[in-house]
Amino acid sequence: MPSYKLTYFNFTGRAEPIRILLHYGGIPFEDVRVEKADWPAVKPSTPFGQVPVLEVDGKKYTQGTPLARYVANVVGLVGKSNEENLEIEIAINIVSDILKAAYESHFDPDEEKKKQHLKTLHELLAKYFPVLDEAAKKNGGHLGTNKLNWGDIYFVTAYEDIRNILGNKDIVENYSGLQNLKKNVISEKNIKEYIQNRPKIPIFVYDLRSEL
């Protein structure tokens, strides 16, 4: 088995789907969490001045979603067919757009733009959560296939971050399919154990572990 080292901040964000996928697969990896104060020293050693970085036998790769897809292939959480993968990827594309609006609403230093991103976030949630909920209902609490896949994990980590960004607003409270999906992910043995034991995120007002 190759050696894996994942570098990110002590935050969920772009790294959490990758961490969860590795834990799901029981794959040992070095989970490096850089403190903000140390980032300027670490930054030049990353491919494009960015994290997450996954090192596979010392070779460095970056970009969150490609890395999650890569690890999903390693641990067998992709679809069984090209069609299943298409369904999963469409869901991930949607969640990724929503998540981007959420991060922008949180991190944009300009108050006016922040508001605009927040408006976009609410529009996207209103447009797409019913669609994702329908997909989850059709597939027994999964996105794209009827068994656990990396789209489910991607959704749940996005859910946690967006819920935090929105001050603990439970964005799936009206969606039974997505609630079921969330349960399917966090009740998986290895994932549950990881979430119970992962380092706390200081800025979190909501933590998935409260649901275990």
Q: What does the binding site for its own copies look like in residue numbers (CB under 8 A)?
A: 48, 56, 61-63, 65-67, 69-70, 73-74, 82-83, 85-87, 89-90, 92-94, 127-128, 131
Residue 167 C-beta: closest distance to its own copies, Å: 27
- Indicate left, alpha or beta for 200 from its phi (over 0: left) and psi (-120 to 50: alpha): beta
Residue 120 C-beta: closest distance to its own copies, Å: 12
Instruction: Give CA 120 to chain center in angstroms.
Output: 20
Q: What is the rounded distance in angstroms from the CA atom of residue 116 to the CA atom of residue 70?
A: 33
Residue 191 C-beta: closest distance to its own copies, Å: 21
State the DSSP H helix or E strand holding residue 137, giving kind and residue range, or none if neither. helix 111-138
Residue 199 C-beta: closest distance to its own copies, Å: 27
Using alpha carbons, list the distances in angstroms from residue 20 to 127, 128, 168, 175: 27, 24, 22, 23
Which C-beta is closer to its own copies: that of 83 or that of 211? 83
Residue 4 C-beta: closest distance to its own copies, Å: 13
DSSP 175: -
Which C-beta is closer to its own copies: that of 10 or that of 46? 46
DSSP 166: T
Residue 158 C-beta: closest distance to its own copies, Å: 16
Which C-beta is closer to its own copies: that of 128 or that of 204? 128
Please report, in angstroms and rounded to a whole number, the separation of the first and last CA atoms in the chain: 31
Which C-beta is closer to its own copies: that of 52 or that of 141? 52
| CB-CB contact of 62 with 55 (8 Å) | no
Which C-beta is closer to its own copies: that of 87 or that of 161? 87
DSSP 203: T
Which C-beta is closer to its own copies: that of 67 or that of 166? 67
Instruction: Give CA 132 to chain center in angstroms.
Output: 15
